[in-house]
Amino acid sequence: MRQLGSWVARAGVGFVRACVVAAVSMLVPAVWAAAVALGIWWGPANPWSWIAPFMLVCVGTLALSRPVCRIVRVLVTRWTATVIPAGYRQAGEVTRMSTGYWWNGFSYERSRRDALLDQKCRVRWSDPANWRDLRFTGIVPLTAGVIASLPPAGVAAAVLGLGRPAPAARLVGALGVVVAVASAPYAWRAIELVAVRFLRPSPAMELAGRVEELTAQRADATVAQAAEIRRIERDLHDGAQARLVALGLSLATAGKLMETDPGGAKALMRDAQAGATASLAELRELIRGISPPVLTERGLVDAVRALALNIPLDAAVSADAPLRLEPPIESAIYFGISELLTNAVRHAQASRAHISLTQDDTGIIAEVEDDGRGGADVRADGGLAGLRRRLAVFDGTLEITSPPGGPTHVRMAVPCASS
């Protein structure tokens, strides 16, 4: 009895899904059929009887191809958990030049609105994915659409056949019931095979997308490097350099006062010594911000443990092994953990945090969880977005779970090999 109920449930769900697949697959053929019907209705004497249907077919197919493909991807992902990358070309940033014109990657425009409209049009119609979507809308009705039409066609045959007294009609109706019931749990599954085969980005599209991604990452890295250089210059100019200049003046003055005022010279020497000590401390702090010595000397785990001791949080660190990674990866993960802990103190008002460092077959995984108020989100100009871009340089990922009220859990994964 339980197996029968399970079969009925599967058949019901499958019938609904098959109807949805059939409807989506036949959207473009429905436009074609409407165009043919319009031409027949106008008649051969009307000059628009072939021009208007042709225009309707072209415009309707172009307008519906991408929405149909997007709906199919959503359905396949929701029903089978198979994610099919879209592979569409993404628009770049629109920037304003010193001349006042806006550059959109293709041309200069007088206003931002015109630049965005021109960019959207160029990206949309120069995307090679358009040909893939058009091919899919021509293939899917003849494959998954036909198969998915079996259950509703069987139901229609059953209703029409069983409602007539003729034995042949009743036989057709009974066969329709058998076809509908037998095919309902499976007819919709053909859409997954067709979508995976014909909706995947081509190797050329994947390569173009990867090139664009690497170009964006290189630009982000260049901007971040320039900002870091400016920060170092500013810290040196405002801090250590000013102290060293004052130290030189104090030593020069002390040298002049050495014979006439030994006491004043000694006082200046003491001030110079204090200034030298402060300058040395500032330089050490600056070096620690660039590359912490404990990270260079003892590795990521000990550096994170030292960081946890200096954060005003009850922070615990767990690691499965003393990892030693490539220095750029260690630096990216270390400063990523530092930024997450700083956010936990400054924004989330957390009191406890846990840092976990583990390694699997693919690379290093760093997880940070705090008991703060949650609600963290990735804004385009925020620190978390910058952290995600820095990890993307190493093909790393950043996953954030932060419901309102907390806790906040962040997972950083970077493919690499330890030594």
Count other Cβ atoms within 10 Å, centred on residue 300. Answer: 25
Q: What pLDDT score was predicted for residue 167? A: 80
Tell which residue, 138, 149, 146, has the closest CA to residue 17.
149
For the whole model, what pTM was predicted? 0.55
Reported as a single tens digit per residue, the pLDDT across 163-194 is 777 788 778 778 888 888 888 888 888 898 99
Closest CA to 130 of 75, 92, 86: 86
Per-residue pLDDT band at 71 (split at 50, 70, 90): very high
Distance between CA atoms of residues 247 and 262, nearest Å: 18
The predicted model gives 79-101 an average pLDDT of 80
Q: Which residues pair with 412 in a beta bridge?
A: 366, 398
d(CA 312, CA 60): 62
- Report the pLDDT averaged over residues 17-40: 87
Give the pLDDT confidence score for residue 72 in this predicted structure. Answer: 92
Band of residue 210 on the pLDDT scale cut at 50, 70, 90: low
pLDDT exceeds cutoff 70 at 293:
no
Q: Estimate the crossing angle of helix 2-25 against helix 167-183, to 10 degrees.
A: 100
Instruction: Kindly report, residue by residue over 371-388, the tens digit of the pLDDT.
Output: 887 777 766 666 677 777
Cα gap 162→176, rounded to integer Å: 9
The C-alpha atoms of residue 17 and residue 9 are separated, in whole angstroms, by 12
Pairing type for strands 363-370 and 102-103 reads: unpaired
Using pLDDT thresholds of 50, 70 and 90, give the confidence band for residue 120: confident
Which of 191-200, 294-303, 350-359 comes out lowest in average pLDDT?
294-303
The C-alpha atoms of residue 307 and residue 340 are separated, in whole angstroms, by 12
DSSP state of 401: E
Determine which helix (DSSP H) or strand (DSSP E) holds 114, and give its type and residue range: helix 112-126
From the list 393, 389, 383, the residue with the least C-alpha distance to 326 is 393
Q: What local confidence, expressed as pLDDT, does residue 380 receive?
A: 61
Beta carbons within 10 angstroms of residue 172's beta carbon: 16
pLDDT in the model for residue 376: 74
